[in-house]
Amino acid sequence: MNIEIVDVAARDGLQNEKKLLPTEVKVELIERLVANGSRRLETTSFVNPKLVPAMADAEDLMAALPRRDGVSYIGLALNERGLERAIAAGCDEVAYAVCATDTFSQKNQGTTVEQGIEVWHKIANRAREAGLDPTLVVSVAFGCPYEGEVATAHVARIVERCLSSLPARLSLADTIGVGTPRDVKDLFAAIIPGVPESVQLGTHFHNTRNTGIANAYAALEAGVRSFDSSLGGVGGCPFAPNATGNICTEDLVFMLHRMGLDTGLDLDGLADTARWLQSHLGDSVVGLYSKAGPFPS
């Protein structure tokens, strides 16, 4: 069984870092990930640089990235202006987030949930016209830092309303890391019957409370075959209080490989790259495999 890992270190991993990495270091990070087998990568976001300074070099980064057959660069856009920037910058794919609660949606992108759904339809249609595959991310799908519990039925209704403009990929995001394996199974059980087979199901789990890997396993059992993760476990949402990072790419890959599943990634190469990244970010790199090493021979 083949499992896809979408590495988000260059975007979600760096967006919340106090230390801003130069564009050339970001390029090297992405090149190292590609050299170790990554084929789909979130590279940057086209957002207001005053709100997210780490993403101020979005166009410069995209211009500096080498193009390789079979490698897809994904840009995050939170509005139509961001989409046009992503198209002009040469992104291969675009991701857009519909937030599951009004308060988080207002803080994250200045819309209500209803307005966010409307923007999704515009983004999806415009992206396809420009030749970009659109990814729909439903953020705070497992809980909101401002409104608390988010009902499974509510998330399922949001997904249903968005599917009239089909995404290439539908990803459920635990933006603040409060979900449990039971929540993951319940939510995917609720949405899968209404999702066409042409839509790839994915996840975006944060590891804020150390449940991310367990949740990835639950999603795997539910039928998901595409997972976002971040090299070294770096990252976090600037609008989520106490955000402490994504699930770690190399830790997730170790688990999957030990289960006999193929990711196409070089685990030891990823660990080397995580240690390289630690030389730039220090204690933000929290992944464990790069520190513990492989299964003893």
Q: Look up residue 76 and give its DSSP letter.
A: E
Round to whole Å and give the CA distance between 67 and 119: 30
User: If you count DSSP H runs as helices and E runs as strands, how many of each does the chain have, helices first?
Assistant: 11, 8
Confidence band of 244 (pLDDT split at 50, 70, 90): confident
Please tell me the predicted confidence (pLDDT) of residue 239: 62
| CB 24, CB 43: distance < 8 Å | no
pLDDT higher than 90, residue 245: no
Round to whole Å and give the CA distance between 21 and 281: 9
Would you tell me how many other CB atoms lie within 10 Å of the CB of residue 226? 18
Percent of the chain residues topping a pLDDT of 70:
98
Confidence band of 240 (pLDDT split at 50, 70, 90): low
- Average pLDDT of the chain, as a whole number: 96
User: Where are the strands (E) in the chain, listed by range?
Assistant: 4-7, 40-46, 72-77, 93-99, 133-139, 169-174, 200-205, 226-229
Please tell me the predicted confidence (pLDDT) of residue 18: 85
Domain boundaries, the chain: 4-287
Round to whole Å and give the CA distance between 156 and 117: 13
Q: What is the dihedral of CA 250, 251, 254, 257, to 10 degrees?
A: -80
Please tell me the predicted confidence (pLDDT) of residue 194: 97
pLDDT higher than 70, residue 243: no
Active site residue 91: no
Residues 269-294: what's their mean pLDDT? 95
pLDDT higher than 80, residue 241: no
Could you tell me which CATH class the domain 4-287 is placed in? alpha beta
* 152, 170, 171 from 231: Cα distances, Å: 30, 22, 19
Give the tokens for residue 208: 């804020």
- Model pLDDT for residues 138-165, shown as the tens digit of each residue: 999 999 999 999 999 999 999 999 999 9
Catalytic residue among 99, 162, 237, 248: 237
- Model pLDDT for residues 191-233, shown as the tens digit of each residue: 999 999 999 999 999 999 999 999 999 999 999 999 999 999 9
**Dihedral sign from CA coordinates of 173, 176, 181, 185:** negative
Q: Treating both helix axes as pointing N-terminal to C-terminal, what angle do 80-89 and 113-129 enclose, rounded to 10 degrees?
A: 30
